[in-house]
Chain A
Amino acid sequence: MPYRRPSSPRRLAPTLAVLGLASAAALLGLTGQGAAAPAPAAERAATVLADRCLSCHNAEKKAGGIDLSTRAAFTAAKLGAAKADDSRLVKAVVSGKMPPTGKLPAAEIAALKAWVAADAPYAREPLRALLPSERPLWSLEPIRRVTPRKTRFDRLARNTVDRFVFAGLEQKGLSPSAPAGKRELLRRVSYDLTGLPPTPEEMAAFLADRSPEAYEKVVERLLASPAYGERWAQHWLDVVRYGDSHGYEQNHLRANAWPYRDYVIRALNQDTPYDRFIHEQLAADVVAKGDPRREVATGFLVAGVHDTVGNSTEEGKRQQRANDLDDIVSATAETFLGLTVGCAKCHDHKFDPIPQVDYYRLAAVFAGVRHGERPLPETAEDRERRVQADGVRQELRAVLGGLLDLQDEGRAALLRQRGAEVGRPPTSPRHNTERFAPVRARFVRFTVTATRDGMEPCLDELEVFGPDLPGNLALASRGGKAAASSLYPNAAIHQIHHLNDGKYGNDWSWISSERGKGWAQIELKEPARIDRVAWARDSSTGRRLTDRCPTGYRVEVSEDGASWKTVATGDDRAQEAERQPELEVKALGPEQARVRSELLARQEELEDRLESFSPRMAYVGSFGEPDPIYLLKRGDVMQRGDEVGPGPLSCVSVGDDAPAAAPQSEPQRRLEFARWLTDRRNPLTARVMVNRIWHHHFGRGLVATPSDFGHNGEKPTHPELLDWLATELMNGGWKLKRLHKMLVTTYTYRQSSAANPRAEAIDAGNQYLWRMPLRRLDAEALRDSVLAASGKLDRKMGGPGFRLFKYNVVNVAIYEDLEEHGPETWRRSVYHQRARGIRDDLLGSFDCPESSQKNPRRVSTTTALQALSLLNGPFLTQQAGFLAERLRKEAGASESAQVARAFQIVFGRAPSAEESKSAVALARQHGLDTLCRGLLNANEFLYY
């Protein structure tokens, strides 16, 4: 069902609506509500005065002695005149003297003139200045597609994009630069599209290809390369605050976050239309249901920080939930809309037209989303693996059982060697059997009197066997009933009925609520002869916990549940503390030792196999009944106001009024919101995305603040171009590769980056693109390029990431520097685990951001610590050695051939005679490794 219309038009409605501007209508969602009624001169002028003049010329400030808030003050200041052109006010605006921020648009000057000519009637008094959030916001105006005007550079244009850029240049008195050389161009486009340098062979082929479409062919090749998805996924992951740890207090690694990262890479490589990309990230559980490769897209929602510790107080619980929702709301709004909706949590947005209630409408959209893992839909392949896993698990149980027996045998052997009494071994968390003479019983009770650690005892299964019938008689599936003295509270995985459910392990166990004691009981379906009871704390093949293991116990049986007989106790068991595991192993006979080592090897093998079979879980959120959402006064979770239903932002209207809808079901809320985002009439979504792509190709967005299209962000340098590209994106079926191709094949993109002092004097920041900027590789591209040069880059795609830290958990996670960069780290950097709050020396010093924050734009700094990590750091030193090895292999023993090859690999060109000479000299004196270290530190390598 479509969204409910915003309920209360804001107080500004009359003021702005009468301007008759599209912006005013869009701002207030008034399209089609009669906003176009002709405005009398007084209304039009009031709007201009409020917007442009009254922040200074009001009754308090009275700047220059002039107050425009009332008719009386206006008259007193003698601003009017019989002839409008003689009016002080009209003169000031016509000359551009006022307002000081720049001359008014002609339409507004005309409005003021007409008003003065009509003897300055006041529509209402006093007039007041617009609040920043009441000002029309450019990004909310409908997208307009216009044709660029003609310029004298048009013959250079490769496509329409150039003509918009040229129009900007011409207006500023600038000219485009000459085209870049082929080498420069190939490095540029390779880095921009794939984040990797061209290989010497690719460079040679491009230089040799003299056909007019040589460059287009390269662009096609790069866009088709899997490296394209890896490169652009990294940009996207920055924007959406993707991280591989939870952050906050414990900051444990989030082991299964990566399926979302892989989804982004795949979606980009497959050129998933951007509207679908959005729908999947917000509601893949609906729109891609059953497709495990796409369902993980909802990882977007829960990619942020999450408090895993929690808090027991009501306030703490509410705050924790509010923090999660705040993260989702802010990330969604900034990513797709470029609006900082998060600023409206405590009060109406101070700068943008976002009332506080809108924030909570968005929170309600996501009120059913919770952090956590979700099992992925099973594919046919998965089903097969599951069946195989059951077999492996069975064998593993047998192997573990065998090892347990050997442990007891070793203990007995050791004690015998010492002449001590062997007795019964200590209880094992893994498996224990109590044997006794056959006895007729219906009830079997296991009473714990002590545990190893004094904690509440745990049993994962209580099994009963007899001589007359095969198998475990206690199973619920055979009519057995479980009972217990007590139950550990609030833990779904610990239940009384888990005692006889036939499932092993902590997740299907019972724990009492009493420290060191408690009893569990099985009532058989009918009385039977029994002679054996088996029990364990955790006999699974998985984690195998050892805490809470009973050490003191008795087993009692009864036929009628009234008179009991003790058939076994733990009184004769030795204590775990008396064991000497190492000596016990040594006490084993040669045959036993051989069996033991075989079993251990088999155990390892089976466990590895099991791990590869483990059910596929992904940290992509879980969905349930939405929480009721209340407007929180000042954002305080303890000050609830009215309940708020789901809905979009009131400042963006995409259609006609619809009847009020009932609160929508959970997935429907998200889906509806996604549809609103991708409605062609939403002016933000396409603009924001084309700007992100522009940003990464040209080093700066048409809007320099890619996630802030509000008043606090930057204004577009080329608004018409931005709109034209937005319509191109939508008209082209939201396909991103088409847009990339359009941008990188422009003349503008293919310009040289050479300096031009004259142009610099006009536009030092190159906002108008009179040249292409020279850019430093970002942290990941730098690291990947080093690996590409050394020949060690492992192009394996997807799957769990690698670590650039040592990881340890002592309640909280502890991250330490990595000393050895082994082959597992030689993959592309997009696959490194982005642990929050942690920065790798190399990546961090080169401005790789910390993933606790959304990072729509990276800064590029130059520091001494960068130089140190690149000159002396273990990674670069190691890779320089590999590059040297590669040179010897590929270029043979000739020093000059090695140097020539090195220059081709690292710089994409041959060395000059002089360079060759000094490089050979360095290598000869200090080794090829040292030369390679030097080349990989060169500006020519780092800049493109």
Chain B
Amino acid sequence: MKHHDPRPLTHDRWLDRRQFLGDIGTGLGSIALACMLAEEAAAGPAKLDDPLAPRSSHFPAKAKRVVQILCPGAVSHLDTFEYKPELEKRHGMPMSGEKIVTFQGGNGNLMKSPWGFRQHGQSGKHVSNLFPHLAQCVDDIAFVHSLTAKSNTHGPAMLQINTGFILEGFPSMGAWVTYGLGTETQNLPAFVAIPDVRGNPPNGPANWNSGFLPAAFQGTSFNTEKPIANLKPPSGSTAKEEGDLRSFLANLNAAHLRRHPGHSDLSARIGAYELAARMQLSAPEVTDLAKESGATLKLYGADSENPLKAAYAKNCILARRLLERGVRFVQVYCGGPASQVDGLLNWDAHKTLKADYERHAPIMDQPTAALLLDLKHRGMLKDTLLLWCTEFGRMPTHQTGSEGRDHNPEGFTCWMAGAGVKGGTSYGATDELGYKAAQDVSTIYDFHATVLHLLGMDHTRLTYYHNGTQRRLTDVHGHVIKPVLA
């Protein structure tokens, strides 16, 4: 049984933790002792001071949890989900109109996508031939084709898609969501980031940082290959040793608490050691995919001969397992850091678009589609929100002297599926060539506002006082994109 704190979260409750602890009432000493002694102490009232206790949303929520696929390096919208027949027609012609602001250098003429597009599903959505599996899912997906970013540089733009701001120091959406809603599991971290096996994305852990929110809300990073830091006892230690150490420590702390009654911090910390012990049992269980059926492994492509695809597939399965166990927010990265060769480790196809995406797309396609299908079959898609994001788009032209595309923050595509989302929708569009968002121009703030809305939170009311301002994920902007709501 989970204790549910019904009060909506306000910054005042964080302003002075002592006050917060104090106002929950009387008899803390006895509660603390009860907490310490009880087998299922975590369900006791002492958990009230747990920042991760589940909390009510502002209004009834469609989504209870989120899994966010992030493709760093900037996925070209023109070669994936936004079909531009006009670009095909004008292939090789110069792009007229205003001067393009480029990131890496000169731009050549218009370049059509090397891949064909076909219509799929009842919605008849055009999807590039790069994604045969995702193409089967279009009726579950709402595409937002008119996003715009504030930076044309990977690091800041990754921060913006994750935190709303292009500078470090702001909380990731996952941190905001766990701050707002707490978590349904105490045995696992509330907010998990699963980095690609090829390495951390640009700007690394800043993408799942809690910024100015308390450290309790920061994302914990691990994947199927790299476990949670410090999860295992020091090498050479036996279970007996750890058990004896823990009971010695529990006795010391109990005696200390008897000498210092009335300090709920102390009992909370005793509780934290018990949670840690449970996490030590739960986390290896969740990362162990041995109990997954052969059919499931196959569905995701975890049996693939391509080790990168198999690794990403396993991370997608891990994401589902985490969600099943009550984790509130999971980021899964498909793509690693910037590299000496652009587009080698992530989607940054400056020079050799065709080769790059024929390497990346097969890694991403099947496992992502499988995650969606698997959630659906298990009945979880009803209340799970699946997001697919990248930090900006790419140019309709090719880069001078190469067959790749430069950065384009003026228009790009992200999508969502699952809880509360109207599948088979396409919202907004870039211009006929795919350069700038032209129809229903939207911002990352809008995207974030929509995610919070689906989680039952008003983005203008999810605030935290910091240095003179009630900070928000959406700064002072953002409108819920209503047409994508079911």
Contacts and interface: CB of A to CB of B under 8 A. Distances in A.
B51 A861 contact: yes
A783 interface: no
Interface string B287-306: 00000000000000000000
B117 to A, nearest CB: 33
B169 interface: yes
A930 B14 contact: no
Interface in A826-864: 836-839, 841, 844-847, 849-850, 852-856, 859-864
A864 B468 contact: no
Interface centre among B28, B340, B467 (most CB of A within 10 A): B467
Interface residues on chain B, size class: 35 or more
Contacts of B266: 774, 939, 943
B214 A918 contact: no
A572 interface: no
Contacts of A707: 467-468
Contact of B244 (A814, A859, A922, A938): A922
B22 A343 contact: no
B200 interface: yes
A856 to B, nearest CB: 7
A662 B328 CA distance: 59
A668 interface: no
Contact of A872 (B214, B215, B234, B467): B234
A305 interface: yes
Interface residues of A, number: 92
Interface in A856-880: 856, 859-869, 871-874, 877
Nearest to B228: A868
A868 B231 contact: yes
Interface centre among B15, B29, B248, B340 (most CB of A within 10 A): B248
Nearest to A349: B468
A815 interface: yes
Given A764-B19, A850-B209, A249 B280 contact: no
A865 B273 CA distance: 9
B241 to A, nearest CB: 4
Contact of B169 (A852, A867, A871, A922): A852
A811 B276 contact: no
B206 interface: yes
Contacts of A309: 153
Nearest to B188: A864
A305 B209 contact: no
Contacts of A844: 215, 218
B244 A926 contact: yes
A305 B168 contact: yes
A707 B256 CA distance: 35
B230 A868 contact: yes
Contact of A922 (B216, B248, B272): B248
B263 A852 contact: no
Contact of A340 (B19, B276, B469): B469
Interface stretch (A216-224, A443-451, A710-718): A710-718
Contacts of A942: 269
A867 B265 contact: no
Interface in B226-250: 228-234, 237, 240-241, 244-245, 248-249
A938 B468 contact: no
Contact of B205 (A339, A837, A915, A935): A837
B212 interface: yes
A339 B468 CA distance: 8
Contacts of A621: none
A11 B192 CA distance: 52
A874 B340 CA distance: 32
B337 interface: yes
Contacts of B280: 868
A248 B273 contact: no
B191 to A, nearest CB: 11
A247 interface: yes
A612 interface: no
B53 to A, nearest CB: 12
A449 B216 CA distance: 61
A935 B245 CA distance: 10
A714 B468 CA distance: 10
Interface string B28-65: 11000000000000000000011110000000000000
A765 interface: yes
A708 B467 contact: yes
A853 B229 contact: no
Specify the main secondary structure of chain A where it touches its partner. Answer: loop
B167 A852 contact: yes
B245 A760 contact: no
Nearest to B18: A765
A552 B279 CA distance: 65
Given A757-B26, A926-B244, A943-B265, A712 B276 contact: no
A710 B468 contact: yes
B169 A853 contact: yes
Contacts of B423: none
A42 interface: no
A933 B273 CA distance: 14
B469 A343 contact: yes
A755 interface: yes
B215 A862 contact: no
B424 interface: no
Given A248-B155, A305-B168, A817-B229, A864 B272 contact: yes
A205 B22 CA distance: 37
B329 to A, nearest CB: 16
B239 to A, nearest CB: 12
A477 interface: no
Given A704-B16, A714-B15, A837-B205, A847 B214 contact: yes
B212 A712 contact: no
Given A867-B276, A939-B266, 12 more contacts: A251-B155, A764-B19, A766-B18, A814-B200, A837-B206, A850-B209, A859-B17, A873-B229, A930-B244, A934-B245, A937-B273, A943-B260
28 contacts: A248-B167, A249-B202, A250-B155, A251-B203, A700-B16, A707-B467, A712-B470, A713-B468, A755-B261, A761-B26, A765-B18, A766-B22, A774-B260, A836-B206, A837-B209, A838-B206, A846-B215, A849-B212, A853-B467, A865-B220, A867-B273, A867-B275, A868-B228, A926-B240, A934-B245, A934-B249, A937-B249, A937-B273
> Which 7 A-B residue pairings sit nearest by Cβ, starting from the closest?
A764-B22, A755-B262, A340-B468, A852-B169, A837-B206, A765-B19, A867-B276
Interface of B: 14-19, 21-23, 26, 28-29, 49-52, 101, 153-156, 167-169, 186, 189, 199-200, 202-206, 209, 211-212, 214-216, 218, 220, 228-234, 237, 240-241, 244-245, 248-249, 251-253, 255-257, 260-263, 265-266, 268-273, 275-276, 278-280, 337-340, 465-470
Interface of A: 247-251, 305, 309, 313, 334, 339-340, 342-343, 699-700, 704-705, 707-708, 710, 712-714, 753-757, 760-761, 764-767, 773-774, 776, 810-812, 814-815, 817, 836-839, 841, 844-847, 849-850, 852-856, 859-869, 871-874, 877, 915, 918-919, 922, 925-926, 930-931, 933-935, 937-940, 942-943
